[in-house]
Chains A and B, each alone.
Chain A
């Protein structure tokens, strides 16, 4: 928490005296219309980093985050792998932001259904859309709808306790799982499928997932990608984790790397390592393998005898033309079939339009914008994956959100956003929501959910045991 406190440049005030002074200042500001009011749609890293930067830059700005779920933090909570707890440390800095006096969290509010973007624009000087990418890119091959085919997003959501994935019930009673895609999400899923239970049971993975994994028969996970090893989207840390996973051997085909060593240069290739022979290596007794297959793309998911469940996948064999990032995978006309009991599509997330009033680019699946200013409409902005597309790590989103915040601050300074007009902010929105039967979850109410999850986790030797059910979250929040 010490690290987090520096972000705001203001520390939370203590004592009732300064509280009532700031209340007075806030009331005065709202009467004169001088205090800029900004709302952010989406309580994940993009939303929180945008808020953080705005609050730090101006001591009069008020920021409201509206989040669909009762719980904040988005993919930091639901996307980051359970065995990467340090990546979730950013929650500390977000929590510090949330405790700022001029910040309010409004959970359990579905923008697009409970309230419209137009209504938010009327109530605020600026609205920032930071709701990320809740859809998936589709395979568009036959057999995609067979039982046993999942999107990576749903599978990750399942083991990370996302309420909309709690009824997923993946059947791990098969030997081989094929993951389409070779990015970090694919690597995370492969690692979770094959990690020793002793490692996983100390993480915040859900008990339900743990029990399913304990009964799992999966011994082989293959990550299949369209192009070659030089185009792999996963980063070195995750690749290294795959290679080092206890009890699992790395199942790679040397032929895939022909000619690659010559193409690599600089500090990255240590030929001495290649000569470092591990006789009778620690994995030779392993019964598990995590493998990578290149230059293959899905043609068809093959059903089993009952016609309903996946039993294999047909892959087109490709060859690579060109090099580097621009390399293209060209068909050779050959196919091969891989036997498997599950297919997980990890080929990318996709943003969805939530409100017809917001210009959306269906081809790129992002909100149409220029440097974060939504096109064709004043006072509307975007940050994070919704703005640039669903790639990158938290630091990428952080920098992007800081950029959007700076654009907003520029517009406030320049008068493009007219602060002389009084805006009611959350006052009006909360009233509208109440009239529609929607009750919000505040940040301190989320903290009750948080405490309950930590309490349940303690009993199990885990950092937390996540609540899986929105109704249960609300019951705890409002208790």
Chain B
């Protein structure tokens, strides 16, 4: 985390600034990755089957719609992930962090700096991690398995302490 912040400074220290960073004059208003409540969907949009595997290894299978974000799916389908999506999809937290299969991750669009900034703060970060609010469902994701990351301190610490008392 400190390393990336330093890198940001390094880029600026020579007094240069890349063009795509120039035009952020307004408030840090992040656009939602998709509409938070989807009312009308074209019937031609595909359904995408998803499997969520939680920290205990339990699998929940739900169907999302092409164009929705994974955050939309978790909310609408009430997938039980504690504290998911605290900032409601505005790239201001890391609580929608999910881990993907290599083959899926490699096909996804490259992460923008904004997402990387927040993802850097997530627990249990892996090489195939993304923020769920930034991943939009595509038909080729049908059947994809998504893992909920481990927290730094997990339930095993709790059990161990209990047995010692």
A interface with B by C-beta (< 8 Å): 2-3, 6, 9, 49, 53, 83-87, 89-90, 92-93, 196, 199, 202-203, 229-241, 243-244, 246, 249-250, 252-254, 256-257, 260-261, 264, 267-270, 273-274, 276-278, 281-283, 292, 325, 370-371, 393-395, 398-399, 402-403, 406-407, 410, 414
Contact = CB atoms under 8 A, between A and B. Distances in A.
Interface of B: 1-19, 21-22, 24-30, 36-37, 75, 78, 80, 82-83, 85-95, 113-114, 116-118, 120-123, 151-153, 155, 157-158, 161-162
Contact of A240 (B25, B117, B157): B117
A41 to B, nearest CB: 21
A50 B58 CA distance: 24
B7 A398 contact: no
Contacts of B87: 86-87, 89-90
21 contacts: A49-B83, A196-B25, A199-B25, A232-B6, A235-B4, A236-B116, A237-B117, A239-B8, A243-B9, A243-B12, A244-B17, A246-B25, A250-B9, A250-B13, A269-B10, A274-B14, A399-B153, A403-B158, A406-B158, A407-B158, A414-B162
A234 B5 contact: yes
Contacts of A236: 1, 4-5, 7-8, 116-117, 120
A268 B6 CA distance: 9
Given A250-B12, A273-B18, A203 B5 contact: no
Contacts of A371: 157-158, 161
Contacts of B92: 84, 86-87, 89
Contact of A403 (B4, B8, B153): B153
Contact of A260 (B10, B22, B86): B10
Nearest to A6: B78
> Which secondary structure dominates chain A's binding surface?
helix
Contacts of B122: 395
A235 B1 contact: yes
A213 to B, nearest CB: 15
Contacts of B3: 230, 264, 268
Contacts of A6: 75, 78
Nearest to B122: A395
A351 B78 CA distance: 37
Given A203-B27, A274-B11, A393-B121, A398 B83 contact: yes
Most buried by B among A49, A238, A250: A250
Contacts of B10: 229, 257, 260-261, 264, 269, 274
A152 to B, nearest CB: 18
B86 A395 contact: yes
B11 A273 contact: yes
A89 B82 contact: no
A93 B86 contact: yes
B16 A3 contact: no
A10 B109 CA distance: 37
